[in-house]
Amino acid sequence: MRKAGHDLFVYGSLQEPEVVHVLLNRVPDRVSAILSGLFRIKGRVYPTILPDGAGEVTGKVLKGITDDELKLLDEFEDVEYVRKAVQVVLTDTSEKLQVGTYVWRNKEDPDLYGEWDLEIWKRHDKDGFITATKKFMEGRKLPEAKTRIDTFKTFFKQDIENGKPLDS
């Protein structure tokens, strides 16, 4: 019998429990998994994947995501990403699992390059990313709510103006 809820493969910033907690007000059960094809987005503090990319992507499968949480995560990922079904391999058991994940919508994006590194992100961008995510969640309650893209552009533009680079 299938457990209620959705299983979602996350990589990049959504591997960080603090980010997930800001969004969902909880940290779901999670297990390590592998998928292929991770690229970094130029000038951004978050990565993307293309399912036909080379290499392996390590991430987490968030277990038991509710329908409302999935809608919220879809809203957070905004128009830049599309949620697709993929197959991942669980690190501990080698079990194959069908899950959802967020894939970059523009496969021909000229700004896709290089690798995104979670440890570098934690050192350079995590605090700002969590603050921007909190601003996104607070802003959702307002009638003139901004998208995640607009919230992050505003937040990180202010960071640049204060002398802190957007992406170190």
Residue ranges of the domains in the chain? 6-161
User: What is the pLDDT at residue 143?
Assistant: 86
Catalytic residue among 16, 75, 77, 115: 77
Q: What is the C-alpha separation between 49 and 70, in angstroms, rounded? A: 19
User: What is the pLDDT at residue 16?
Assistant: 96
For range 127-150, the mean pLDDT: 90
Residue 118 neighbours by CB under 8 Å, 6+ apart? 12, 15, 16
Higher pLDDT, 43 or 65: 65
With 0-12 / 13-18 / 19 or more C-beta atoms within 10 angstroms meaning exposed / middle / buried, residue 7 is buried
Residue 164 neighbours by CB under 8 Å, 6+ apart? 128
119 given a catalytic annotation: no
Architecture per CATH, 6-161? Roll (3.10)
Higher pLDDT, 24 or 50: 24
Task: Check whether 167 has a pLDDT greater than 50.
Answer: no
Q: Quick one: tokens of 105?
A: 């919508």
Overall residue count recorded for the chain in this entry: 168
This prediction has a pTM of: 0.85
CA 157 to chain centre: 20
User: What is the pLDDT at residue 144?
Assistant: 85
User: What is the pLDDT at residue 159?
Assistant: 53
